[in-house]
Amino acid sequence: GASREHSKFYSNDAVEAGARATNGDYAKRHGFSRGHLAPAQFHKDDQRAMDATFDLSLNVVPQEMTVNACDWFRLEQFCKKLVKKDKFDKLWVVTGPVFMPKDIPAQGGEPAKRVVQYEVIGEREVAVPTHMFKAILAERADKSKAFAAFVLPNGPIPYERPLTTYQVTRAQLNKLTGLKLFPLLPDTERAAPDICK
């Protein structure tokens, strides 16, 4: 089996140098950790697959430390539970960053605006997502499916909340990300009931 002890965060040489995230970009104390999109713990069968989860350009984003250690981690554990305890045979998980717009109120004669603002860190100005998403499609042995999607803010979460607090519909997530997630899945709720129920 694979072990995290043998894996290290690394820069991807296939990405152009100016756009390539490095460990140095995360070195200063700015409150962000190197957050995995696909978690290393889900790749314990193969060391190369686990190592790939430490790619700073393809699988890592700046993630606020309390989110990474608390509610995001709980969401990852929820995915694991779906297979181990809830007996789903197959699980597809899509994870990624969200750059969510926010409202700027009218000021000094300027009209109200809806803008996307995000922080950057390090010399290469690695973009800090405003939010993170996880979309989960689960399938049982009888081919019945269930679905859930979550969007978590990438900022301090002062206390633990039920994961359903962050739940969104597939249509909402598609709009936020510009993606069409699980396009072969019919849009009706009956086609894939809510995993959380």
- Give phi and psi for 98, each to the nearest 5: -130, 135
Any catalytic annotation for residue 36?
yes
Contact in structure between 7 and 53 (CB atoms under 8 Å): yes
Catalytic one of 6, 36, 43, 131:
36
Residue with token string 């894996």: 7
CA distance 110 to 132: 31
Contact in structure between 34 and 56 (CB atoms under 8 Å): yes
Helices (H) and strands (E) in the chain, counts: 4, 10
Contact in structure between 88 and 43 (CB atoms under 8 Å): no
Reference 59, options 71, 67, 50; nearest CA is 50
Residues marked as catalytic: 36
